[in-house]
Amino acid sequence: MVHAVVATAWGGAEVIEVVEVPAVPPGPGEVVVAVRATAVSPFDVKRAAGLIGRDPAALPLRLGNELAGVVTAVGPDPTGFEGGRLAVGDAVLGQWLDGAQAEEVTVPANALLHKPPSLGFSEAAALLGSGTTAAHALAAVGLAEGDVLLVHGASGAVGGMVAQLARLGGASVIGTASPARHERLRAAGVTPVAYGPGLADRVRALAPGGVDAAVDTAGTDEALSVSLDLVAAPRRIVTLVNYGAAEAAGAQWIGPGGETERIRPAAREDLVRRAAAGGLAVPVAASFPLAEAPAAYALQAEGHAGGKILLLP
At residue 310, the 3 state secondary structure works out as: strand
Residues 107 and 166 both lie in one domain: no
- pLDDT tens digits, 167-216: 999 999 999 999 999 999 999 999 999 999 999 999 999 999 999 999 99
Average pLDDT, the chain: 95
**Which pLDDT band, with edges at 50, 70 and 90, does 254 fall under?**
confident
pLDDT band at 258 (very low <50, low <70, confident <90, very high): low
For residue 27, give its domain range: 2-118+278-312
What is the CA angle 94-96-102, rounded to 5?
Answer: 75
Question: Does position 244 have pLDDT exceeding 90, yes or no?
Answer: no
pLDDT more than 70, % of the chain: 98
- CATH assignment of the domain containing 52: 3.90.180.10
Mean pLDDT of 239-252: 89
Amino acid sitting at position 236: R
Do 93 and 137 belong together in one domain? Answer: no
Stretch 149-171: mean pLDDT? 96
121-138 per-position pLDDT tens digit: 999 999 999 999 999 999
Asked if the structure places residue 203 within a domain, the reply is: yes
Tell me, what CATH number does 235's domain have? 3.40.50.720
Please check whether residues 41 and 100 belong to one and the same domain: yes
Give the residue-averaged pLDDT of 5-22: 97
Calculate the alpha carbon distances from 127 to 36, 106, 133, 233, 254 in Å. 14, 20, 10, 31, 19
49 shares a domain with 136: no
Helix (H, G, I), strand (E, B) or coil at 238: strand
Same domain, 157 and 218: yes
Are 222 and 303 within one domain? Answer: no
Instruction: Report yes or no: 229 and 211 within 8 Å, Cβ to Cβ.
Output: no
In a domain, 272, yes or no: no
Which whole-number Å values give the CA distances from 128 to 71, 107, 139, in the listed order? 18, 16, 16
* Mean pLDDT confidence for 154-177: 96
pLDDT band at 256 (very low <50, low <70, confident <90, very high): low
pLDDT above 80 (res 261): no
Q: Is the pLDDT of residue 257 over 70?
A: no
**pLDDT in the model for residue 259:** 64
166 and 238 housed in the same domain: yes
Helix (H) or strand (E) holding 263: helix 260-276
Tell which residue, 147, 210, 208, has the closest CA to residue 173. Answer: 147
Assess if residue 234 is contained within a domain: yes
Where does a domain end: 204, 238, 253? 253
113 and 147 together in one domain: no
Asked if residue 127 belongs to a domain, the reply is no
Share of the chain above pLDDT 90, in %: 88
- Structural domain contains residue 125: no
* HSE-up (13 A, CA, CB side) for residue 163: 31
The reply to whether 267 falls in a domain is: no
85 and 156 both lie in a single domain = no
**Tens of pLDDT along 50-74?**
998 899 999 999 999 999 999 999 9
Tally of structural domains, the chain: 2
Count other C-beta atoms under 10 Å from residue 53's C-beta.
10
> Which residues have a Cβ under 8 Å from the Cβ of 269 and sit 6 or more positions away?
81, 82, 113
**Is 139 in the same domain as 223?**
yes
Q: Are residues 34 and 68 in the same domain?
A: yes
Q: Which residues of 67-88 are buried (b: 16+ CB within 10 A; e: fewer)?
A: bbbbbebbbeebebbeeeebee
The one-letter amino acid code at 155 reads S
Q: Do 112 and 137 belong to one domain?
A: no
pTM of the model: 0.94
Q: Does 259 fall in a domain?
A: no
Q: Could you tell me if residue 260 is inside a domain?
A: no
Average pLDDT score over residue span 31-36: 98
